[in-house]
Each structure stands twice: as C-alpha cells, then as structure tokens.
Amino acid sequence: MKQVGNMLVLETLDEIVTPGHTALLVIDIQNDNASTQGTLASRGVDISAVRRTIPAIQMVLAEARRTAVTVIFMRISNDRGLESPSRLRMREKSALKRDAAEYESSGCSGNEVLGELEPGPDERQFIKYLSSSFMGTPLDFTFRNLGIRSAVVVGMVTEGCVETTVRDLEQHGYYPVVLSDCVSSRRQDLHHAALLVMSARYDVITSEQLLAIWRRA
C-alpha cells in the first residue's frame, strides 16, 4: 500500500484480494447457458468451454465462503420488450437467435444460477438486462454499503459481460481481478484476446494464485 496525495492505493495482490473488502462476482453462469440440460446444449451449441471452468469456480466459491468473502451472482435476462433495436441486432450474431422465446428469461428455470454452484440463501442474486453488472442494478450501492474495495470476477462471456463488467468496476473505483481459468467463451480467439486486453490494465491471475492468497489469509 502506498500514499498518493491524500489517498491510500492498494499495490499487491494480497492487499487487493483481502477477504474483508473483497467480493466474488459470478457473472451469468445459468442453467440455459451452462447446464448440459439447458437450452444451448439441447440445441447442439458447444458449451464445453464453460463446463471446463465449473470445477475451478466451485473451489473458489468454497474458499470465498470459508473466508467470509461476499458472494454475488449476476443473472442475465433476455426478456422480450426490454431490449433496444441495436441490442436485438447484436443478438442476431449470437449462437442462439431470438427464436427461443424463453432463453434466459426471468421466471424460467433456465434463468436460474447453474445448480452446481448452489447459491447460499444469504448470497445476493441480481438480475441484469445488459452486459455490465452495474447498468440498472444495485451492485454499486451494495458494494459501497458493504465496504467492498475489490471484486474477483468469474463467469461468462469473457469478451462480453465479463470484460464490460471489469471495465466498469475500475470506472466505479473498485479493483478488478479476473480469474483466467474461471471465465469462458465459445470462441477461444475472442476469449484469449479479451484476457490479453484486460491483463494490460488489470490483474488477471489463475484460481490457484487466488486460492493460495486466501488460504494464507
């Protein structure tokens, strides 16, 4: 930690991910996009990338709970009537078009957090309608009320909701930390490109590096 003017700036990873002021942000890992029984898998979309991240995310979740790190689950909702024309056009490039009316829609089981991650009864779940976990959600208000200074980010999609949220974390004054083996995309070229871009500005580490710090703590 160093003094810059009248501010104290966290410098080391150990300082940044101290459990007392760190949140674990789980982004958009839901039944429809990550379960072998979900909409994407049932329509033949390859979900192997996100499936590979689940064991590491489970380990991080377990350690977060052991060390009393705040855990927040973000859930993307694609409800009809709540999207702009530009966003609808963007979705036309996605693996699943809008012909699946219930895909990730609020109130449907596919919108729920992936069952294998088992959110606890006291762990917050916020619905979002856009890529950023901040846009239209109480995330910033919650972080400030809880004294959160840093957020460890896991989830999907690396070049989409993950990267957008990471940028907004820094813009809102928080320290973002991305776990490279706990984020995923169906396109590996975009996944690696996004990690490269984020690592130039933020901390991008592995789950094992984070777990080693939390276990020491």
Q: How many CA atoms lie within 13 A of 14 on its CB side?
A: 6
Q: Reduced to 3 states, what is the DSSP secondary structure of residue 68?
A: coil
Q: Reduced to 3 states, what is the DSSP secondary structure of residue 182?
A: strand
Task: Respond yes or no: is residue 79 known to be catalytic.
Answer: no
State the catalytic residue, choosing from 32, 128, 168, 203.
128
Alpha carbon distance 58, 65 (integer Å): 11
Task: Respond yes or no: is residue 128 known to be catalytic.
Answer: yes
151, 23 contact by CB (below 8 A): yes
State the catalytic residue, choosing from 108, 122, 161, 168.
161
CA dihedral 199→203→209→213, nearest 10 degrees, is: 170
Task: Respond yes or no: is residue 108 known to be catalytic.
Answer: no
State the catalytic residue, choosing from 28, 32, 168, 203.
28
Give the residue numbers annotated as catalytic, written as ranges: 28, 128, 161
